[in-house]
A and B are shown apart, each in its own frame.
Chain A
Amino acid sequence: MNWLVAVPVALPLVGAGLALAFARSPKVQRLVSLATLSLSLAAAVMLLVYVDSGPVVMDVGGWAAPVGITLVADRLSALMLVTSLVVSLAVMLYSLAQGFADGDDGAPVAIYHPTFLVLSAGVSTAFISGDLFHLYVGFEVLLTASFVLITLGGTRERIRAGTIYVIVSMTSSMIFVIAIAATYAATGTVNLAQLAQRLPELDPGIQLVLQLLLILGFAIKAAIFPLSAWLPDSYPTAPAPVTAVFAGLLTKVGIYAIIRTQTLLFPEGRLDDLLMVVAVATMLVGILGAVAQVDIKRMLSFTLVSHMGFMLWGIAMTSSAGLSAAIVYAVHHILAQTTLFLVAGLIERRGGTTSLLQLGSLARLSPLLAVLFFLPAFNLAGIPPFTGFLGKAGLLQAGAEHGGLLSYGLIAAGLITSLLTLYVVAKAWNMAFWQEAPEELVPSVPESGRTMTVLPRAMVAPAAGLVAVMLALVVIAGPLFTYTDAAATDLRARTPYVDAVLPDGVRGTGDSHVITESESAQDALDPGEDE
């Protein structure tokens, strides 16, 4: 069954090729995108169940670790895969519906489908790579796709925002490559499992440098303050579906990489205090930025930055409880933030603008939209019984257990951030939906010339679907926490991951023959068999 790991990467890539080949036939493109994303999601769900009994490892090309490239799915990877694919599928449906509603026969730009699928493949690659360099390649795949998506159409504003985004992303990639080069020079391997064994033998100073370099590269991607200035300016200019998928996934890939490297490679957590300070700054600066905004999209971008701090906090606590809460929070945040950006797109459609100063009385015009904004927004603020509350409660609990001055400072910062988030979203809801509009709302006019007095149902449905998934998470919060607790315990223990990748001990076999499951079991018993 270990071929299953590669499906969420291989399928979208093949789909992207097909979609590119059928660039002139929007129907085929639609079919291909939906089919590949759905099948990948199915594979990811199967993985989610499958990895509950241990990490699934696939050696690409039959070259066993540590020689070849390894794909590994453990509980954390599988959970992130499922969440990201759910979100991708919903966003894809939304953008298709938007295409239909705008009267261009469901065909956005011909390049949209292939690029979106490549983005999905890149995100999946990052989640399952068991190899530092392969992680870099995954990052590059998703970044390159995101460059195209963020500058789609090449309008003035998108080129301006895209320029900054591209340069910042590339700089972070360069730092990542430097980190890889330094790691390889110091240890002679880039395989994560083997690094986990070799890094502790290094000089502590060198370890610290490697850790800092890796965190620096990932923190730019995850928009951790003070490396977050690029995000609130880049995201709002992109089209609504693109912003939604970026907000949900790209920063979380950075957080995932931080979790993976911190737990697997640097379990001692020597930078925890630094991470905690940075988490406080990220939360507070981000949310204060959001308070000052009068545009929904920009406001949401600032809350996105702010709430990355919560996940960083969970990572910095170096405890299973903290990690588990961070993972829950990441899942919650992917769903909530994506939904909010999709709904912001709907608001823009219905009200003609996303500026809170011009919007008003949308609740009367479109009650469904009001509910769709209300639920994820207050989920983000952490009102019980939503998942935002559960994640934050987990973090607070872990923080209290962790103890120490910094930890209590973080608890205070977390509470302040939550209250300010509540203030921000309540203000937005009040201004956009509740109070009277300052003037007559002008619905946006698509190219076909029809005014959108009624929102297309097909566009509302994906957003509503995501809200439903979000609410479903509340219902299954118990099993979810059990799952993430197990994931966090695995991450802290490290042995399940390392043993799965290197079943034959320190060196692994590096055998180049195709390993079937029964054979690999035999190999584990008798490593010298083939020689």
Chain B
Amino acid sequence: MSPGTMIEVTPSLALLLAAGVLCGTGVYLLLERSLTRIVIGMALLGNGVNLLLLVAGGRAGGPPVLGQTEPEDMSDPLPQAMVLTSIVITLGVTAFLLAMAYRSWQLNGHDEVQDDLEDRRVAERAARDEVSERATDDPGEYLAEPNDVVVEAEARDETRPELRRGGRKKGAEPNDVVVEAEARDETRPELRRGGRKKGSEPNSANESDSGEGGSR
């Protein structure tokens, strides 16, 4: 598979454009706050990048099987093998991200990606001391009035009264991260009820979580 024996190596413009569009939309969605959109963005970006990897092998040729295609007309099999690996990895991570988004929704009643702990602490301090007007503008206000979160959570969870209650409880204290253990236990009954309504599977998942959750 030396480049000398390859057929034309100029890649097709259409594929490159497709990869570009996929990557662009992927990055755009990645900048969103909602984890669901981030997952979709990640999938788009992953596919765009995989396409790019495929394009790296040059123009398509015949199947790279000896006896079926002359070596000069073969397409390069190596990028295809690499893309296969890459697709599997993308798939696995997407599944993991989806599970994470679901868990986040279970715990918080929404799937927004929360601010960095340090950011929140700085904003909180600023909001308390009212040292800096600028700092309180955005995240500070958000923290000072956590009811915003509740409203949002409620809006999202209209279909699920039990979870909404859990969401409100959480929304009332979004800054409180130290008490994760007890917070978890508090949410659990509501969540479990929510799960039971849905079916037996999430329920058992919840139970195994509570078994494992504490120690590590």
Contact = CB atoms under 8 A, between A and B. Distances in A.
B209 interface: yes
Interface string A201-244: 00000000000000000000000000001001100000101100
Interface stretch (A79-87, A169-177, A253-261, A273-281): A169-177
A460 to B, nearest CB: 19
B216 A188 contact: no
Given A180-B53, A233-B118, A447-B214, A153 B38 contact: no
A178 B53 CA distance: 7
Nearest to A110: B212
A27 B93 CA distance: 31
Given A162-B100, A177-B86, A184 B215 contact: no
A108 B183 CA distance: 21
A178 B215 contact: no
Contact of A155 (B50, B86, B184): B184
A19 B35 CA distance: 32
Contacts of A2: none
A153 B205 CA distance: 11
Contacts of A159: 100, 103-104, 107
A166 B183 contact: no
B15 to A, nearest CB: 12
A140 B118 CA distance: 28
A104 B215 contact: yes
A184 B57 contact: yes
B94 to A, nearest CB: 9
B143 interface: no
Given A155-B180, A174-B49, A185-B55, A166 B30 contact: no
A167 interface: yes
A60 interface: no
Contacts of B38: 167
For chain A, which range describes its interface: under 10, 10 to 19, 20 to 34, or 35 or more residues? 35 or more
B119 to A, nearest CB: 9
A156 B116 contact: no
Contacts of A426: none
B82 interface: yes
Interface residues of B, number: 52
A109 B216 contact: yes
A58 B11 CA distance: 34
A157 B177 contact: yes
A166 B93 contact: yes
B139 to A, nearest CB: 14
A164 interface: yes
A367 interface: no
B216 A239 contact: yes
B113 interface: yes
B64 interface: no
A133 B184 CA distance: 41
A266 interface: no
Interface in A145-168: 147-148, 151-164, 166-167
Nearest to B82: A133
A99 B214 CA distance: 11
Nearest to B97: A166
B216 A156 contact: no
Contacts of A156: 107-108, 170, 177, 180, 183-184
B1 interface: yes
A167 B53 contact: no
B166 to A, nearest CB: 11
B1 A67 contact: yes
Contact of B46 (A154, A174, A229, A241): A174
B42 A147 contact: no
Interface string B168-187: 00100000010011011000
Given A178-B49, A181-B55, A182-B56, A153 B42 contact: no
Closest 6 CB pairs of A and B: A185-B56, A188-B3, A153-B213, A181-B56, A181-B53, A239-B216
Interface of B: 1-3, 6, 9, 11, 30, 35, 38, 42, 45-46, 49-50, 52-53, 55-58, 78-79, 82, 85-86, 89, 92-93, 96-97, 100, 103-104, 107-108, 113-114, 116-118, 170, 177, 180-181, 183-184, 209, 212-216
17 contacts: A98-B216, A99-B215, A137-B89, A156-B183, A157-B180, A159-B103, A160-B104, A162-B100, A166-B93, A177-B53, A178-B52, A181-B56, A185-B9, A188-B2, A188-B6, A190-B82, A239-B216
